[in-house]
């Protein structure tokens, strides 16, 4: 076989499992944010891509990739051709190698790698790994622009990667750096997909580690980025994830599915069903990000995840904590949350199109895709078993397998007195939490008449009695007269509540 068919068979074989033994690399590789793959210091040979035509002649991208793959670590690839429209899939990239667009360093522009030569803009051109499924919200590895499979030390920089099912597939690959790119309209998986998929749908915990995705702009991809099936200890920083206005499936800016210990900081998420969707991952750190115009800013399940110090404004729900089969604790702390509760009906495998659903700053218990009460699309190419849909525990006659309310049912505190004292605020109230346990009350100030938490003012700690009750009193930073003061509770285990009812600070 030749052309697209043979390359697709080759990629499918790689996806199915590691293609070669993972022998020690004689060149120590440490991909760093500034410069990408590092070697022992030996000079690399430049392969210059100056042909726009997609063929195998010298100067073409296909020639450069094949040459570099024959001797990984010997070459670096620099693209000066303004636009390359591929006629078929490139072979998977073998690292270490840096592939850079020259325009970025010279002018801040990007050299374009486009899949339009062989992929129509049709979700059915992006099949899943299960027969009959297709699109963004299925298990998939189909038709990537760049495939990094069972390798390490690859850098992609200064490129515009567009028109594929997956812009960049990072599968069982570590120490890659994807930086300063435009990643546009990759419709059937993600702009960048980092996955530890073992080839059978299971997770691997030691294959997709220490990758960095930095300073990229993601526009109108189905999912902007995915961290799935064991992807761990990866850094996602300073990117923009914009669902845009012409997106076939505006699902998630980032989806973390069984991904653990990843750091997601200083990114911007706009116009998605879920800005960031956490599905059963653990200990992921989500901090200093901005969320705007999403149905849900952050949607959370999993255990030990931390949503801290983010700016979350103008969404349907700021932070949604969804029920799941195993109740666990996730921390929501010191965020600026205001102006949410908007009727944003965006519901492509996330968010919600239920006009009756409660909306606001922090909402505990809205349904996810697995629940029969979810209102929206579970994905255009997804077949959903309605008979097996999960049920949220609401009534006494619900099945024993129903999903209990998240955060162990922790409710918000109740504020009784808020008054200014010497430039600070004296705060009194009561709460209920775990018995004989430490609880932290975070206090927030907002505009008059609001009920969220725009400005973090400080915290008060208290220990509950044997029945889980506690009265608390303490001082936090001051706020302007007329401000609405709210609070949340967070247990020692890291479960956080929704906001309390607001109390107006006397003028």
Angle subtended at Cα 58 by Cα 114 and Cα 36, rounded to the nearest 5 degrees: 60
Shortest CA distance to 479 belongs to which of 433, 431, 423? Answer: 423
Rounded CA gap, 233 and 374, in Å? 31
> Which segments of the chain belong to CATH 2.60.40.10?
413-504
The CATH topology of domain 45-388 is Pectate Lyase C-like (2.160.20)
Please give the average per-residue pLDDT across 270-275, as a whole number: 98
SS (H, E, C) 60-127: CHHHHHHHHHHCCCCEEEEECCCEEECCCCCCCECCCEEEEEHHHHHHCCCEEEECCCCCCCCHHHCE
pLDDT at position 21 is 35
> Which segments of the chain belong to CATH 2.160.20?
45-388
- Answer whether residue 39 shows pLDDT above 80: no
Please give the average per-residue pLDDT across 107-125, as a whole number: 95
pLDDT at position 124 is 87
Q: What are the tens digits of pLDDT across the range 427-477?
A: 999 999 999 999 999 999 999 999 999 999 999 999 999 999 999 999 999
Identify the band that residue 15 occupies on the pLDDT scale cut at 50, 70 and 90. low
Instruction: Please count the residues of the chain.
Output: 507
How many Cβ atoms sit within 10 Å of the Cβ of residue 167? 33
CB within 8 Å of 269: residues ≥ 6 apart: 224, 241, 253, 254, 275, 276, 289, 290, 291, 292, 294, 297
pLDDT at position 130 is 81
Identify the band that residue 13 occupies on the pLDDT scale cut at 50, 70 and 90. low
Rounded CA gap, 153 and 238, in Å? 21
CB within 8 Å of 432: residues ≥ 6 apart: 411, 464, 468, 469, 470
pLDDT at position 134 is 81
- Answer whether residue 38 shows pLDDT above 70: no
- Answer whether residue 2 shows pLDDT above 70: no
Rounded CA gap, 216 and 239, in Å? 5
Identify the band that residue 41 occupies on the pLDDT scale cut at 50, 70 and 90. low
CA 386 to chain centre: 27
Q: What are the tens digits of pLDDT across the range 367-401?
A: 999 999 999 998 877 878 888 899 999 888 888 88
Rounded CA gap, 285 and 294, in Å? 20
Tell me the CATH number of domain 413-504, given options 1.25.40.80, 2.60.40.10, 3.50.50.60, 3.20.20.150: 2.60.40.10
DSSP-derived 3-state class of residue 33: coil
CB within 8 Å of 351: residues ≥ 6 apart: 272, 273, 274, 294, 295, 296, 299, 316, 344, 376
Please give the average per-residue pLDDT across 71-80, as a whole number: 98
Mean pLDDT of the chain: 91
Identify the band that residue 23 occupies on the pLDDT scale cut at 50, 70 and 90. very low
Rounded CA gap, 299 and 63, in Å? 43
DSSP-derived 3-state class of residue 374: coil
Considering the chain, what percentage of its residues have pLDDT values greater than 90?
Answer: 82
pLDDT at position 62 is 98
Buried b (16+ CB within 10 A) or exposed e, 96-117: bbbbbbbbbeeeeebbbbbbee
**Residue 312, CA distances (Å) to 269, 292, 307, 308, 457 in order:** 10, 7, 11, 11, 17
Please state the pTM of the whole predicted model: 0.92
Rounded CA gap, 250 and 297, in Å? 13
- Answer whether residue 227 shows pLDDT above 60: yes
CA 64 to chain centre: 32
pLDDT at position 254 is 98
What is the helix, strand, coil percentage profile of the chain, to 5?
Answer: 5, 40, 55
């Amino acid at each position: 076989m030749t052309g697209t068919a043979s390359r697709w068979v080759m990629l499918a074989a790689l996806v199915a499992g590691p293609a070669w033994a993972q022998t020690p690399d004689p060149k120590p590789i440490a991909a760093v944010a500034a410069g990408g793959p590092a070697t022992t210091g030996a000079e690399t040979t430049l392969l210059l891509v100056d042909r726009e035509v997609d063929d195998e002649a010298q100067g073409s991208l296909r020639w450069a990739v094949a040459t570099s793959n024959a001797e990984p670590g010997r070459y670096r690839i620099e693209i000066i051709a303004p636009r390359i429209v591929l006629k078929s899939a490139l072979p998977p990239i073998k690292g270490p190698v840096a592939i850079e667009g020259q325009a970025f360093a010279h002018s801040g522009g990007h050299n374009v790698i486009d899949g339009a030569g062989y992929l129509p803009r049709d979700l059915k051109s992006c099949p899943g790994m299960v027969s009959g499924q297709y699109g963004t919200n299925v298990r998939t590895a189909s038709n990537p622009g760049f495939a990094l499979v069972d390798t390490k030390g690859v850098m992609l920089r200064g490129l515009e990667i567009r028109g594929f099912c997956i812009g960049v597939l990072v599968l069982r690959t570590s120490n890659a750096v994807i930086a300063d790119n435009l990643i546009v309209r990759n419709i059937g998986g993600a702009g960048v997909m980092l996955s530890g998929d073992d080839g059978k749908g299971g997770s691997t915990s030691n294959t997709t580690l220490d990758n960095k995705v930095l300073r990229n702009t993601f526009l109108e991809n189905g999912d902007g980025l995915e961290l799935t099936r064991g992807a761990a200890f990866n850094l996602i920083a300073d990117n923009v994830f914009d669902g845009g206005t012409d997106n076939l499936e505006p699902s998630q800016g980032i989806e973390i599915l069984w991904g653990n210990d990843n750091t997601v900081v200083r990114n911007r998420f706009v116009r998605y069903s879920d800005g960031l969707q956490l599905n059963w991952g653990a200990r992921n750190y989500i901090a200093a990000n901005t969320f705007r115009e999403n149905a849900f800013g952050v949607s959370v399940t999993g255990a030990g995840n931390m949503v801290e110090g983010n700016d979350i404004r103008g969404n349907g729900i700021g932070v949604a904590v969804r029920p799941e089969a195993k109740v666990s604790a996730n921390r929501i702390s010191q965020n600026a949350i205001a102006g949410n509760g908007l009727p944003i009906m965006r519901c492509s495998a996330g968010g919600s199109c239920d006009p009756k659903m409660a909306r606001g700053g922090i909402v505990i218990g809205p349904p996810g895709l697995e629940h029969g009460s979810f209102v929206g699309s579970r994905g255009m190419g997804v077949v959903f078993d309605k008979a097996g849909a999960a049920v949220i525990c609401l009534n006494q006659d619900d099945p024993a397998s129903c999903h209990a309310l998240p955060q162990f049912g922790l409710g918000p505190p109740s504020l009784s007195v808020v008054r200014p004292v010497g430039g600070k605020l004296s705060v009194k109230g009561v709460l209920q939490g775990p018995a004989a346990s430490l609880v932290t009350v975070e206090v927030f100030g907002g505009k008059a008449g609001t009920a969220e938490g725009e400005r973090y003012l400080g915290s008060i700690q208290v220990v509950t009695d044997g029945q889980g009750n506690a009265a608390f009193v303490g001082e936090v930073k001051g706020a302007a007269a007329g401000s609405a003061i709210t609070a949340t509770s967070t247990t020692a285990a890291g479960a956080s509540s929704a906001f309390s009812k607001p109390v107006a600070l006397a003028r």
